[in-house]
Amino acid sequence: MIEKRIEVADPQLVDKAAREMGGLAMGCTDAAGHVMAVTESIKRQVAVLGELQNVVGSLEADQRQATDAADEARTLSERARNRLSEGGETIARSVAEFGELTALVKSMGLQMTSVSAAMAQVSRTIETIDRIARTTNMLALNAAIEAEKAGDAGRTFAVVAAEVKKLALDTRSATVEISMTMESLNREGGVFLRDLTDGVTRATAAEKAFVRVNGTVSEVMALVDQMDAQAEDIARATNMIHKRVCRVGDELDGFSEDARANETLLGVAHSRMGDLETRANEMLDLIVHSGFALDDRRFVDLALDSGTEVRQNIEAALAKREIFAADVFDTTYRPVEGSNPQQYDNRFNEAADRLIQPILDRVSLSDPRIIGAAVTDVNGYLPTHLSSKSQKQRPNDPAWNALNSRNKCNFLDDATARAIASTADFMLTTYRQDLGVNGYRPVKNCFVPLIINGRRWGNFEIAYVD
């Protein structure tokens, strides 16, 4: 049997391997954070895509309505054009008929003027007949006088003179009646002529108005033709837009499906990266527990010593009855009214500020690589914090408060939950610290369980950069 001597490995190489493992754990944490950021970004993009799909759907519906409206407008303009064409023809016929009527009225006016002239001539003739009748009457009267003088010899002549006189009187009576009738006719004819003249004037004005209406109808028909042409152009444009919107919608659907598929793949990748991060952290924690990784070990020792100091301070205060166990383990968190981010009070706050905060401040200032120290109970509640992180909140300034008023808050993240569930004397893990606009940085965190008089209260923790 050949025996070989097993030599102890070079401690520096083991420490280097431990540092490399720490670097791996930090890299896994950083990569997992980036994958998470990309996943969240894709989720937001998928949500935006969903909104875009809704917008495109609404736009498609609007375009369909616009197309229907354009088609309806074309139909209405076609109807209007047909109606206007029919109306124009009717108006044109009416104008022609009204022109003929106006011409007839004018002709009647001219004829009435001729009738008036003839009646005037008749009146003058009647006056002449009347003068002749009066003269004849005078002659008959003289003949009767002369017949009376002649006696029996003029008796026959007297009879003739009497008949002539009677004829003259009848003629005068007839001329008087005719003259009265002519005067009445002249009056009626004058009124009728004035009315006829007024009618001719109004008919002429109406004819001109009809001509203007006919011109207006022609202009409206021209406008309707233009509107019909524009409606046809709009219909073509909306139809083209509708097709393009449908194409965009199809492209968005395909892109959304791809994005959701990528989101699923990234979710799987993030889950696997999380598993790798957990295993890397477990290996780092195991290496540190094995006594290697000297760089990390001194922070672990500092956390263990500081956690012991915190425990001793609390137990001493309990022994002196300065505080009571019910106060230390109080989990009745009362919301601080008006706080943003939300803060909570409990009965341990004042004692924690007195017994724990000085230790947190001292540890935080003991090494430039330490970025903070804190205590959290089993629910992730911080009854106190560093002095610089325990300032009074400013009203209406949540951003400042989130940086400077972190006490009395609850921060139960995955790492804190795993540390609370751990029964080891310490747990070393890594996480990504959010630096706001400056991005993130990988941080190591050492959790030490705080057991007060045999009862688990929570953890003491130190965060530092590698």
Of 217, 251, 285, which residue is a domain's last? 251
Cα(193)–Cα(259) distance, integer angstroms: 94
Give the pLDDT of residue 14.
59
Give the pLDDT of residue 142.
77
Confidence of residue 301 (pLDDT cuts 50, 70, 90): very high
- pLDDT per position as a tens digit, 400-410: 999 999 999 99
Q: Which one of 59-63, 291-295, 422-426 scores highest in mean pLDDT?
A: 422-426
* 236 within 8 A of 106, measured Cβ to Cβ: no
Give yes or no: residues 327 and 399 share one domain.
yes
Give yes or no: residues 309 and 162 share one domain.
no
> Percent of the chain, pLDDT > 70?
65
Quote the domain boundaries for residue 228. 55-251
Residue 430 in tokens: 């890594």
Over residues 404-430, mean pLDDT: 91
Give yes or no: residues 226 and 351 share one domain.
no
Q: Please give the DSSP secondary-structure letter assigned to residue 437.
A: G
* 411 within 8 A of 396, measured Cβ to Cβ: no
Give the pLDDT of residue 329.
97
Distances (CA, A) of 425 to 135, 289, 448: 167, 9, 6
CATH code for position 96: 1.10.287.950
Of 236, 251, 266, which residue is a domain's last? 251
* 386 within 8 A of 419, measured Cβ to Cβ: no
Q: Which one of 49-63, 216-230, 259-273, 311-325 scores highest in mean pLDDT?
A: 311-325
Amino acid at 315: E
Give the pLDDT of residue 325.
96
Among candidate residues 232, 263, 290, the one with its CA nearest the CA of residue 40: 263
In a domain, 49, yes or no: no
Give yes or no: residues 126 and 215 share one domain.
yes
- CA 123 to chain CA centroid, nearest Å: 89
Over residues 136-154, mean pLDDT: 72
Give yes or no: residues 170 and 73 share one domain.
yes
pLDDT at 423 over 80: yes
Give the pLDDT of residue 363.
97
Give yes or no: residues 172 and 311 share one domain.
no
Give the pLDDT of residue 304.
95
Give the pLDDT of residue 87.
67
Give the pLDDT of residue 291.
62
If one compares 194 and 298, the residue with the highest pLDDT of the two is 298
Give the pLDDT of residue 248.
73
Give yes or no: residues 216 and 357 share one domain.
no
Give the pLDDT of residue 112.
65
Confidence of residue 292 (pLDDT cuts 50, 70, 90): low
If one compares 317 and 103, the residue with the highest pLDDT of the two is 317
Among candidate residues 299, 310, 401, the one with its CA nearest the CA of residue 357: 310
In a domain, 18, yes or no: no
In a domain, 170, yes or no: yes
Q: Which of 80-94, 295-309, 316-330, 398-412 has the lowest mean pLDDT?
A: 80-94
Confidence of residue 249 (pLDDT cuts 50, 70, 90): low
Give the pLDDT of residue 15.
64
The reported pTM is: 0.53
Q: At 292, phi and psi to the nearest 5?
A: -95, -165
Give the pLDDT of residue 355.
97
Element spanning 22, H or E: helix 11-150
Give the pLDDT of residue 130.
72
Give yes or no: residues 235 and 146 share one domain.
yes
Computed over every residue of the chain, the mean pLDDT equals: 78
Edge-to-edge strands of the sheet including 427-434?
Answer: 370-377, 455-464, 440-452, 427-434
Q: At 324, phi and psi to the nearest 5?
A: -125, 155
In a domain, 344, yes or no: yes
Of 218, 251, 284, which residue is a domain's last? 251
Q: At 397, phi and psi to the nearest 5?
A: -140, 65
Overall domain count for the chain: 2
Give the pLDDT of residue 21.
62
Q: Which residue has the tokens 């290697």?
A: 292
Give yes or no: residues 194 and 319 share one domain.
no
CATH code for position 381: 3.30.450.20
Confidence of residue 7 (pLDDT cuts 50, 70, 90): very low
* Residue 250: HSE in the Cβ half-sphere, 13 Å Cα cutoff: 6
Cis omega (within 30 of 0) for bond into 341: yes
Over residues 136-165, mean pLDDT: 71
If one compares 277 and 202, the residue with the highest pLDDT of the two is 202
In a domain, 130, yes or no: yes
In a domain, 395, yes or no: yes
Q: Which residues contact 426 (CB under 8 A, 6 or more apart)?
A: 288, 289, 300, 303, 304, 446, 447, 448, 449
Give yes or no: residues 66 and 183 share one domain.
yes
pLDDT at 17 over 70: no
Over residues 69-83, mean pLDDT: 71
Give the pLDDT of residue 20.
65
In a domain, 150, yes or no: yes
In a domain, 34, yes or no: no
Residue 198 in tokens: 């007024």
If one compares 141 and 290, the residue with the highest pLDDT of the two is 141
